[in-house]
Amino acid sequence: MAKILEVKYEHQADARVCEVDRQSLADLCWHEVAYPTQASGDAVWFFVQYPNQASFKIYRVKHASQADIKLFKVATPEEASWRTKDHPLRGKLG
């Protein structure tokens, strides 16, 4: 289950991420849920407050060229999935 912590400093992160404006540009389409028990796999995320709660830590960057993962937020968990099937971080977030 993907329990995500957004960190303040790049060196604390497992990956740099950038939110892109079109689904077709994304490596991963993700969906945010309200409760940790609803999080699943790499794509359905619950944001945590503390490092010891996180399964994966992200650092947001401004440009897609700087990112390890390009993200696009989707409205439903059914839409959430990897778009880049052979991405090196696939299976590592959850």
What would the pLDDT profile of 30-63 be if each residue is shown by its tens digit?
999 999 999 999 999 999 999 999 999 999 999 9
The stretch 7-27 carries a mean pLDDT of 97
Q: Which two tokens stand for residue 88?
A: 């090196």
Please enumerate in sequence order all residues whose Cβ is within 8 A of that of 66, keeping only pairs 6 or more positions apart, or say none: 16, 18
| Residue 61, pLDDT score | 98
Q: Where are the domains of the chain?
A: 2-79
For the segment 53-93, what is each residue's pLDDT rounded down to a tens digit?
999 999 999 999 999 999 999 999 999 999 999 999 999 99
pLDDT on residue 94 = 80
Residue 29 has pLDDT above 90, yes or no: yes
Residue 71 parent element (H or E): strand 69-73
Task: Collapse the DSSP code of 73 into the 3-class scheme (helix H, G, I; strand E, B; otherwise coil) and give the result.
Answer: strand
For the chain, how big is the Rg over CA atoms in Å?
12
- Note the pLDDT of residue 1: 79
